[in-house]
Structure 1
Amino acid sequence: MTIEARIRELGNRHRMLDQTIQQEMTHPSADPLHVRELKQQKLRLKEQITSLEARTH
């Protein structure tokens, strides 16, 4: 898999997590620990994307 393809894949996962987080936060019974975990996953994906983008420049 090329770096560009990996960046696209991670970007898609990042967007999906963002949507999931938004949906979770609309529920009054949202579990704050679950939301926090999702946000941490999203941050790790963003860090991976940034690292890979730095390699392509």
Structure 2
Amino acid sequence: MTIASHLQELRRKHESLSDLVEREQRSPGSDAMRIAELKKQKLKLKEEMNRLSN
């Protein structure tokens, strides 16, 4: 897997998590711990993307 394709996959996962976080936040009775965990996953993906881009 090339770096470019790996970055593309990371971006896709990051976008998917963003959508999921938005849905969870709009959902009545949403679980704050789950949202926090999803946001942590997003941050890890973003850090990895930044690391690979530089």
Q: How many equivalent residue pairs?
A: 54
Q: Structure 1: which 4+ aligned runs deviate by more than 3 Å?
A: none
RMSD of equivalent CA atoms: 0.3
Q: Kindly provide the CA deviation profile for residues 8-36 of structure 1, in whole angstroms up to 9, marking residues without a partner as x.
A: 00000000000000000001210000000
CA distance in 1, matches of 2:20, 2:30: 11
CA distance in 2, matches of 1:17, 1:38: 7
Unaligned runs of 5+ in 2: none
| Identity, % of aligned positions | 37
| TM-score for both structures, normalised by structure 2 | 0.98
CA distance in 2, matches of 1:31, 1:40: 14
